[in-house]
Amino acid sequence: MEYQNILFSVEDGIGMLTINRPKALNALNAATVAEMKDCVEKVAVNSDIKVLVITGSGDKSFVAGADIKEMATKNPAEGRAWGIFGQNVFTEIEKLPQPVIAAINGFALGGGCELSCACDFRYASENAKFGQPEVGLGITPGFGGTQRLTRVVGRGYAKELIYTGGMIDAQEAHRIGLVNKVVPQAELMDVVMKVAKKIAKNAPVAVQMSKAAINNGVNCDVVTGISYEAEVFGLCFATADQKEGMGAFVEKRKPAFTGK
Ligand code: HXC
- What is the pLDDT at residue 260? 96
Domain limits, the chain: 6-200, 204-250
Tell me, which fold does domain 6-200 have in CATH?
2-enoyl-CoA Hydratase; Chain A, domain 1 (3.90.226)
- What is the pLDDT at residue 94? 98
- Looking at this predicted complex, what is its ipTM? 0.99
- Name residues of the chain where pLDDT drops below 50: none
Please count the other Cβ atoms lying within 10 Å of the Cβ belonging to residue 218.
9
Active site residues: 114, 134
Cα separations in angstroms, 132 against 82, 125, 137, 150, 166: 17, 18, 10, 12, 7
Pick the CATH number of 204-250 from 1.10.10.10, 3.40.1160.10, 1.10.12.10, 1.10.760.10: 1.10.12.10
Backbone angles phi and psi of 100, in degrees to 5: -125, 125
Cα angle value 117/195/227 (rounded, 5°): 60
Measured from the Cα of 25, ligand 1's closest atom is 17
- What is the pLDDT at residue 39? 98
- What is the pLDDT at residue 145? 98
- What is the pLDDT at residue 186? 98
- Residue (of 10, 6, 111, 115) closest to 52 by Cα position: 10
Measured from the Cα of 24, ligand 1's closest atom is 17
Q: Are 67 and 24 contacting, i.e. CB atoms less than 8 angstroms apart?
A: yes
Most distant CA atoms of the chain, gap in Å: 65
- What is the pLDDT at residue 185? 98
The pick from 21, 25, 61, 114 for probing ligand 1's pocket by mutation, whose C-beta has the most ligand atoms within 8 angstroms, reads 25
Q: Enter the pTM of the model.
A: 0.98
Backbone angles phi and psi of 231, in degrees to 5: -65, -50
Sign of the Cα pseudo-torsion (96, 97, 98, 99, in order): positive
- What is the pLDDT at residue 101? 99
Backbone angles phi and psi of 173, in degrees to 5: -60, -35
- What is the pLDDT at residue 155? 98
Contacts of residue 126, Cβ cutoff 8 Å, sequence gap at least 6: 170, 171, 182, 183, 184, 185
Judged by DSSP in three states, 232 sits in: helix
Rounded Cα–Cα distance for residues 65 and 134 (Å): 9
- What is the pLDDT at residue 234? 98
- What is the pLDDT at residue 144? 98
- Residue (of 199, 193, 181) closest to 10 by Cα position: 193
